[in-house]
Structure 1
Amino acid sequence: MTAYTLIPATNADLSALPFHGRHLINGSWCDSAESFERRSPAHGCLVSRHAKAGAAETTAAIEAARLSFDAGDWSRASGKERATLLLKVADLIAERSAEMALLEALETGKPITQARGEVSGAADLWRYAAALARALHGDSHDSLGPDLLAMVLQQPVGVVSIITPWNFPFWILSQKLPFALAAGCSCIVKPSEITPSTTVILGELLTEAGLPPGVVNIVLGYGDPVGALMAAHPMVDMVSFTGSTTVGRSIQAAASATLKKLALELGGKNPQVVLPDADLDAAADAVVFGSLFNAGECCNAGSRLILHRDIAADFTARLAELSARVAFGDPLDPQTQVGAIISPAHLQRIDRSVKDGLAAGAGLALGGETLQIPGLSGTFYAPTLLTGIRPDMAIAREEVFGPVLAIQSCSSLDEAISLANDTSYGLSAGIWSKDIHACLRFARSVEAGTIWTNSWMDGFPEVPFGGMKQSGLGRENGHYGLEEYLEPKSVVMRIGASTRAPWVRR
């Protein structure tokens, strides 16, 4: 039996629980007749209880966003005014980061150190968006002739529905909302019903910072009816969604009746290629990180590994040894590197995918089993390495969303590129090689929105993120992330007496 590295339960003080969440609609906090609860996937304790919205609350939030946008208190505010508020929100996030990180760790099952890093990092996204708000500008064309001048205005797209997932609740919200606000949009936000608490706290911070009522509305509940109505309602101009490709398709269909603008960040089956000339120690560490970070519940997970045959056996053995040393266990212990799977149902889906892969002929180098953490009854899955993966296997093509790495082999860079592109997804990909020519060729040839060379999952507010193919539409972060929430408007002005011959004869 494999000797995994396990971190037992701690004696954390959770007496302040449960957190109570309500909707934020037109600047007021609202309850509903029904509520729903979230229990910790690691500890089993009740973490939060929230008001459960239906169609009435959702419609009220959409109408409030529409009224606020049309009123113009925010949509026509200056860049300086928007930036000042966004910076204040960033400071307030920093002040309450410990509380937010604890709730995030408990609701998601992720390690507390990771949750702290994500909340503090999200504050930096708000600061970057504030800088963009001050720099927002259009364009002009002064070369159309002596009597003509054209301008291109950049105006907010309008009312935006923002629907966020459970795996990075606050981080992903912060890749969307501050950029929409920097552009001047009004928003309705629906967090995942599994992880809503930090979104509610953000509503408190926005109110404290002085955001006008109705500019941001938060509705708590389920995809049906809340998310469905947010995607289809005619008063909504745009939908920004992060989640599975399957749900992304349904949102695209719901939005099509009114031809809404869409930004969709969806699934991935992201490959890392390791060539024989790579720094194999650095590559092995990054591959383990890429497959196990956030328990693999990450659209950007390095869930596919393409190894050159000359190093495949030795590198796989190295991965197995490193993966077994990764600390799995209580999310509230700072030593923990990987926490609990989000739910028992999702753990079963992960295990079924692994068993199906083995039945299809894959080999098992490590894992393929649940973990029992001393003192905890939660949902934990072992680090899992599957070998001998063929391109036709489901485990090579379908997103598992768990700590599972599918290992393929290649004989050349050309074959590696072909395997990397042999997927319906195109979110991210990486290559490990000391040959800069190989790295550049890979970067130019692979169909993915982000390419890492001799690195994995390095991200920055300045650098855009998003996918190709069925990994989505649009980009987040960078100035591209702001432009998603803007509409260019051309203004053509005649500034002198017309010199054009009359079209209608007199």
Structure 2
Amino acid sequence: MAQSFNVTDPATGDVIQKVTYDSEEDIKQALKRGHEAFKEWSRVNAHERSRLLKKWSQKIQENKQDIAEVMTRENGKPLKESLGEVDYATSYIDWYAEEAKRVYGRTIPANTESKRIIVTKQPVGLVAAITPWNFPAAMMTRKAAPALAAGCTFVVKPAVETPLTTIRFIELAHESGIPEDVVQCVNQRGSVAGDIFTDSEYVRKITFTGSTPVGKSLIKNSADTVKHVTMELGGHAPLIVAEDANIDYAVRQAIATKFRNAGQTCVCANRLIVHESIVDEFSQKFASEVSKLKVGNGLEEGTDIGPIINKKGYDKIVEQVEDALDKGAEALVGNKYEVNDDKGSYFVYPTVLKNVDEGMSIMHEETFGPIAPIISYKQVEEAIEIANNTPFGLAAYFFTNDYRKGTFLSENLDYGIVGWNDGGPSAAHAPFGGMKESGLGREGGLEGIEPYLETKYLSIGGF
């Protein structure tokens, strides 16, 4: 008998839907079908692939409200954020629908009159993707859109916490005319599906968004068959506020980046590094605005902060806050919880911690929750040292109106994404990805389609 799992609402603990696990054999068959479908899909002309992607985007937009409500129920994020994520998800499809027609080759002048040298691009083959629970729509389309645009076939395993959004997206892809074997969804635990994907002779590329330890495991396991890999892994984003910054503006931007999806994002600000001359003023204004954020069910009007996804995430947040308080930090606002273990419902009120130092775990571990620790600095070099003191390098933010200081910060922060006076730099037309242990490769922009393409060099002689 097939095993199944419950998809629950993290705000209420209610079961939304029961989903059947795909067996190991089911997944292997899906990969085989995807491999076989590649032979036909890779020969579909780029303009036709573009047309189908545009139709998929349109279908998603036509069902935007229903999709957003499903996303909020399974993920917990406020409905306004879910609606925004649907738009963000389709922006990737729209972008790569155009990039499908921009995959160019080139002719290279030969070193002899008797030869011609031509470089072409072709799709890598079947792509297997593993996507996270925190952005179930956008993280899937950020991978599927360039893969399909390039001519690859695609199999995705969504997080077991949030499979319903992905399942609906795949259904709409099929309704749009994209063949069923070209884009597929399988449901299974990550460790099980990951091993099947990396072991498969059919899969030519693995793309993953999630934790660094899991990413490292996938990279190692992909080595035996020399698969292409794209990894968007953990982050620990610093947010630096210089003494000349517009404090009110920096406060608004810090709140936007820190508390989106209750702080459960890889690029949200995890460490606020504020110049000592303004740290008191910034902290007071920041805490005052944070205290106005409404905590509750994401389907309720006006909710800003939804639930934490599960007990594991909740426990990590509490441990970090208690560690900081025990070591001398002060909670300016928050440090309040609403918990119902019986229902599996965990709410963390947005919390601002002042007088934080580098001896606290929150300064070194990704929080994934609505906790904002504030540490002060004296010189800009010290701020950079604090910011770079991590194995991660995904996103960083800084606020200054001094172009010399801003240029210095941008050039010395070891991060793949940097926001200068900008708390929301992500966009489909820009390359997203990290340095150091935050990943390999880029998603979005011109760079985002390249990982799904092989370069072929043809030398023609005998002229």
TM-score range, shorter chain: over 0.9
Matches of 1:202 and 1:362 in 2, distance apart? 44
Equivalent residue of 2:358, what SS? coil
2: CA distance, partners of 1:222 / 1:109: 21
Cα pair 2:323 2:360 within 8 Å, conserved: no
Structure-2 separation of matches of 1:479 and 1:51:
37
Q: Check if 1:55 corresponds to 2:27.
A: no
Q: Deviation per CA, 1:237-256: give whole Å up to 9, x if none.
A: 11000011121112112212
Unaligned regions of 5+ residues in structure 2, if any?
none
The CA distance in 1 between the partners of 2:275 and 2:358, in whole Å, is 15
Distance in 2 of aligned mates of 1:238 and 1:391: 39
Contact 1:75/1:185 (<8 A) preserved: yes
Query: Following superposition of structure 1 onto structure 2, how do residues 80-99 of structure 1 map, counting pairs within 5 Å?
Result: 80-99=47-66
Check if 1:352 corresponds to 2:298: no
| Aligned twin of 2:176 | 209
- Displacement of 1:389 in angstroms is 2.5
Is 1:386–2:353 an aligned residue pair? yes
Give me the CA root mean square deviation: 1.6
Indicate yes or no: 2:194 matched with 1:227. yes
Task: Give the 3-state SS of the residue equivalent to 1:303 in structure 2.
Answer: strand
Q: Are 2:8 and 1:36 equivalent residues in the alignment?
A: no
The aligned counterpart of 1:196 is 163
1:231–1:389: structure 2 CA closer, same or farther, 3 Å change rule?
farther
CA distance in 2 between counterparts of 1:438 and 1:257 reads: 46
Matched, 1:404 2:371: yes
The alpha carbon displacement at 1:377 in A equals 8.3
Shift of 1:367: 1.9
SS in 2 for 1:73: helix
User: Which residue type is aligned with residue 207 of structure 1?
Assistant: H
Aligned partner letter, 2:265: C
Q: Is the 1:54–1:226 contact (alpha carbons within 8 Å) kept by the matching residues of 2?
A: no
User: Over residues 75-133 of structure 1, what are the superposed CA-to-partner deviations in whole Å (9 max), with x where a residue is unaligned?
Assistant: 12111011010001011001111111111000000001110111122122111110000
Q: 2:277 matched to 1:310?
A: yes
Cα distance, 1:231 vs structure 2: 2.6
Matched, 1:288 2:217: no
CA–CA separation in structure 2 for the residues paired with 1:399 and 1:214: 37
Are the counterparts in 1 of residues 114 and 462 from structure 2 also a CA contact under 8 Å? Answer: yes
2:410 corresponds to: 443
In the alignment, residue 266 of structure 2 is paired with which amino acid?
C
Q: Distance in 1 between matches of 2:380 and 2:130?
A: 39
Cα deviation 1:398-444 (Å, max 9, x = unaligned):
10110111212111111111111111100011111110111111111
- The 8 Å contact of residues 130 and 190 in structure 2, kept in 1 or not, is answered as no
**Amino acid corresponding to residue 211 of structure 1 in structure 2:** I
Quote the Cα distance in structure 1 between the aligned partners of 2:325 and 2:30: 48
Structure 1 counterpart of 2:287: 320
State the distance in 2 between where 1:337 and 1:76 align.
46
- The verdict on how the C-alpha distance between 1:392 and 1:495 changes in structure 2, with shifts beyond 3 A counting, is farther
Give the SS at the match of 2:443.
coil
**Higher mean displacement: 259-268 or 454-463:** 454-463
What residue number does 1:76 align with?
A: 43
The equivalent residue for 1:67 is: 36
> Is the aligned partner of 1:167 residue 2:134?
yes
The alignment status of 1:266 with 2:229, answered yes or no, reads: no
Instruction: Tell me the matched-pair count.
Output: 461
Counterpart residue number, 1:113: 80
Cα displacement (A) at 1:207: 1.3
**Please, what TM-score do these two structures have when normalized by structure 1?**
0.88
Q: How big is the shift at 1:234?
A: 2.5
Letter in 2 for 1:434: N
Which residue identity lines up with residue 157 of structure 2 in the other structure? Answer: K
Counterparts of 2:122 and 2:218, CA distance in 1: 24
| Structure 1 position 188, deviation (Å) | 1.2
Q: Give 1:366 deviation, angstroms.
A: 2.2
Kept in 1: contact 2:92–2:428 (CA 8 A)? yes
SS in 1 for 2:283: helix
Q: Percent identity?
A: 34
